[in-house]
Amino acid sequence: MSAPITVVGSLNMDFVVQVQTLPLPGETVLGGGFATIPGGKGANQAVAAGKLGGRVRMMGRVGDDVFGRQLKDNLAKAGVDTAAVVVTAGAPSGVALIFVQAGGQNQIVVASGANARLAPEDVAPALEQASGGFLLLQLESPMETIEGAASLGRRQGMTVVLDPAPARPISGSLLASVDVLTPNESEAMVLLDRKGTVSLDEAPEVARALLRLGPRAVILKLGEKGVFLDDGTGGRHVPGLQVEAVDATAAGDTFNGALVVALAEKRAMPEALAFANAAAAISVTRLGAQASIPDREEVEAALAR
């Protein structure tokens, strides 16, 4: 049996509009298709892990509203335990406003709602009962809650995986509690207080610099170029699958959920990275967050090809 996976993080309802060009400040553009799709980085990662076969529980907050009920229902459909998702009186469920341009680029604005009320005491009791397994974190929840969960999870023998998204500075104490850090290019630059992007040639130096901040391993996500791993024993590039991108929303979340599922099954890191790359590649060929996440059969088929 695979190791258990706990996700602490956000749950949002995404309002997705397809556009030909992303709006500039002060500009109005006409959109095309519109959809409401369950999202939120925490819930996305939990759904990905659940659909791909993991034993997953989600910890977070939703409002006492129709969106909150839909978000919990969608987690349950993916096989995720939602007993620790708290329904919050007096606060709306989180929402995200997402513009998706032809080719997959997007702009996202998040209104946190109930997510902003996720407190350390909401997650501590369950984590104190944990013993081993994996703890998956992101940065759409209050920082004190993420820091507390990481520290407690580490003390309980959990493998702490942090996706530092959305990009913002992180304390050294949080990074010291992280086993695996999984930034994309822009998030890596924020953590290192640098400008620009990361080429494949630059990836080894960037990964080493991130490793010096405190995590025990760094997986630098490079989009269509795949990922670069540095776990302190030498770097390794794992190429991505080449696909026609439609919407990059939740690609990183899908990668993280898939990665943790593979590691929970005791797969070696190179195999886990290939599995996660395949899941993320499939997700960008579809519109939306959780609606784009593939199941186990699709990922295995992509790897076989």
- Domain spans in the chain, listed from the N-terminal domain onward: 4-11+40-93+116-304
Instruction: Give pTM, 2 decimals.
Output: 0.93
For 281, phi and psi rounded to 5 degrees? -60, -40
- DSSP letter at 242 equals P
Token pair in block for residue 25:
């400040």
Question: For 13-44, how does the pLDDT look when each residue is reduced to its tens digit (9 = 90+)?
Answer: 999 999 999 999 999 999 999 999 999 999 99
Catalytic residue from among 122, 179, 247, 253: 253
Asked if residue 142 has a cis previous peptide bond (ω within 30° of 0), the answer is: no
Q: How confident is the model at residue 207 (pLDDT cuts 50, 70, 90)?
A: very high
Q: Which stretches of 10-151 are assigned E, i.e. beta strand?
A: 12-19, 31-39, 55-63, 81-88, 94-101, 106-111, 134-137
Inter-residue contact 181 to 218 (CB < 8 Å): yes
Which of 268, 50, 94, 276 is closest to 182 using CA atoms?
A: 276
Question: For 231-248, how does the pLDDT look when each residue is reduced to its tens digit (9 = 90+)?
Answer: 999 899 999 888 888 888
Question: For 133-152, how does the pLDDT look when each residue is reduced to its tens digit (9 = 90+)?
Answer: 999 999 999 999 999 999 99
CATH annotation of 4-11+40-93+116-304: 3.40.1190.20
pLDDT score recorded for residue 108: 87
Q: Is 201 annotated as catalytic?
A: no
Report the pLDDT averaged over residues 34-57.
Answer: 96
